[in-house]
């Protein structure tokens, strides 16, 4: 049996490296300042993502129907679609 080595993403690697360094810090003022920085970044990240809308249910259902049709081989090429609708 073959096993595949799964490498952590670069974000995971960076996060773990930062955690390792934080574990060595014992200065309370420094850690408090870092905590405020992280809280600010987390709040900004949350705010940046808050304006993203979810697709309406009927759109998601239509996408799923299309994916099922493609898996069944019922899809059409863009050339076929363009040819059909250009002739109208």
DSSP 7-76: PPPHHHHHHHHHHHHHHT---HHHHHHHHHHHHHHHHHHHHHHHTPPPPPHHHHHHHHHHHHHHHTT---
Whether residue 88 is predicted with pLDDT greater than 80 in this model: the reply is: no
Taking all residues of the chain, what is their mean pLDDT, rounded to a whole number?
80
The reported pTM is 0.40
């Amino acid at each position: 049996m073959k096993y595949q080595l799964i490498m952590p993403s670069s974000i995971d690697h960076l996060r773990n490296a930062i955690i390792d360094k934080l574990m060595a810090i014992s200065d309370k003022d420094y850690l408090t300042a870092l905590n405020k920085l992280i809280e600010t970044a987390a709040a900004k990240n949350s705010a940046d993502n808050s304006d993203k809308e979810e697709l309406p249910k009927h759109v998601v259902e239509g996408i799923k129907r299309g994916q099922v049709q493609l898996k069944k081989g019922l899809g059409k090429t863009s050339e076929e679609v363009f040819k059909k609708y250009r002739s109208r």
